[in-house]
């Protein structure tokens, strides 16, 4: 995943669930009544987040292992002061990425299964201009599921956008232009919401990669764009 991430970030990833070194009481309570599978995902991505935070701690001389990484009302993790980050899990893959808020105002990370999405899902996620883009990319590289790349890109954009604004972002609210080489994308907000510190943000940059089983994307907002 290292090549996927912009400089100044720290990340950790794994396949399957981990036995965490520590489960804080508030985190345990947050998923106490959830299924075993959900509890495994929840605690694993937080164990990975603490591994990533350990890299930042070495740089910043802070200790983050005692900060509970609780979900907010919409499930987004609440990071320690001065930190931005994102978590993701799909199939048996889990990952987390963090950075200093002085470097990035926000960062989003998403992982999806490497598969072509059903037509009914594409109808929901695609804007008109994105249909022609997917057609062109499919002719250029037919082995890649470009609909899943688009879906994941919009998910990572939302994961970066929501912590900045506290606002919902629908699939139709984002127009994504995917580049095949280099593996990047640009996400434009046709009608940027005038809320909070992100009122002037109209575009987010991102990167994507594909493995045999996964599509991975990240979107990020440099701190100096605010």
| Residue-level pLDDT at 21 | 81
Please work out, in degrees rounded to the nearest 5, the angle formed at the alpha carbon of residue 184 by the alpha carbons of 180 and 190: 110
Tokens of 25: 């009481």
Residue 61's pLDDT is 61
Contact 31, 23 (CB under 8 A): no
Whole-number Å distance between alpha carbons of 46 and 68 = 9
Answering whether pTM is above 0.85, one says yes
- The predicted pLDDT at position 164 comes to 84
Could you tell me what percent of the chain has a pLDDT over 70? 93
Query: pLDDT value at position 23?
Result: 86
**Structure-token match 């002719």, residue found:** 139
Amino acid 136: pLDDT: 96
Residue 70 scores a pLDDT above 60: yes
Lowest model confidence (mean pLDDT) among 2-6, 194-198, 205-209, 220-224: 194-198
Query: Which tops the pLDDT comparison, 11 or 60?
Result: 11
| pLDDT at res. 191 | 58
Beta strands per DSSP E along the chain: 9-15, 83-90, 93-100, 104-113, 175-179, 184-188, 203-210, 214-222
Give domain limits for the chain: 1-226
Q: Helices 146-165 and 128-140 sit at what angle, rounded to 10 degrees?
A: 130
Predicted confidence (pLDDT) per residue in 117-137, tens digit:
999 999 999 999 999 999 999
**pLDDT(77) > 80:** yes
DSSP symbol at 6: P
Residue 149 in 3-state DSSP? Answer: helix
Angle at 223 between CA 222 and CA 225, to 5 degrees: 75
Does residue 88 surpass a pLDDT of 90?
A: yes
Query: Is 90 exceeded by the pLDDT of residue 224?
Result: no
For 53-78, give the DSSP string.
HHHHHHHHT---TTS---B-TTS-B-
The answer on pLDDT for 194 being more than 90 is no
- Rounded CA-CA distance 19/155 in Å is 28
Strand partners, 64: none
What pLDDT is stored for residue 198 in this prediction?
A: 46
Peptide bond into 26 cis (omega under 30): no
Beta partners for residue 98, in sequence order? 10, 85
Question: What pLDDT, in 10s, does the model give residues 19-65?
Answer: 888 889 999 999 999 999 999 999 999 999 999 999 887 766 677 77
- pLDDT for residue 202: 82
CB 79 within 8 A of CB 69: yes
Is residue 146 over pLDDT 90?
A: yes
Residue 84 reports pLDDT greater than 50: yes
The single residue listed with the structure tokens 């994102």 is 86
User: What superfamily would CATH give domain 1-226?
Assistant: 4'-phosphopantetheinyl transferase domain (3.90.470.20)
Average pLDDT, the chain: 90
């Amino acid at each position: 995943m290292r090549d996927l991430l912009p400089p100044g970030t720290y990340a950790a990833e794994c396949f399957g669930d981990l036995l965490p070194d520590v489960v804080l009481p508030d985190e345990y309570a947050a998923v106490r009544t959830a299924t075993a599978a959900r509890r495994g995902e929840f605690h694993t991505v937080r164990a990975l987040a603490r591994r990533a935070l350990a890299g930042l701690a070495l740089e910043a001389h802070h200790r983050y292992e005692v900060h509970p990484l609780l979900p907010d009302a919409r499930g987004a993790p609440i990071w320690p002061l001065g930190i931005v980050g994102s978590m993701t899990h799909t199939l048996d893959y889990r990952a987390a990425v963090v950075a200093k808020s002085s470097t990035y105002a926000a960062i989003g990370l998403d992982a999806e299964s490497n598969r072509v999405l059903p037509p009914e899902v594409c109808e929901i996620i695609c804007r008109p201009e994105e249909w022609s883009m997917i057609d062109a990319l499919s002719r250029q590289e037919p082995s890649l599921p470009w609909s899943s790349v688009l879906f994941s890109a919009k998910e990572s954009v939302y994961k970066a956008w929501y912590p900045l604004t506290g606002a919902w972002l629908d699939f139709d609210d984002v127009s994504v232009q995917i580049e095949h080489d280099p593996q990047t994308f640009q996400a434009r907000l046709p009608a940027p919401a005038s809320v909070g510190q992100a009122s002037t943000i109209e575009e987010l940059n991102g990167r994507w990669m594909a493995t045999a089983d996964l599509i991975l994307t990240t979107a990020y907002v440099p701190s100096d764009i605010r």
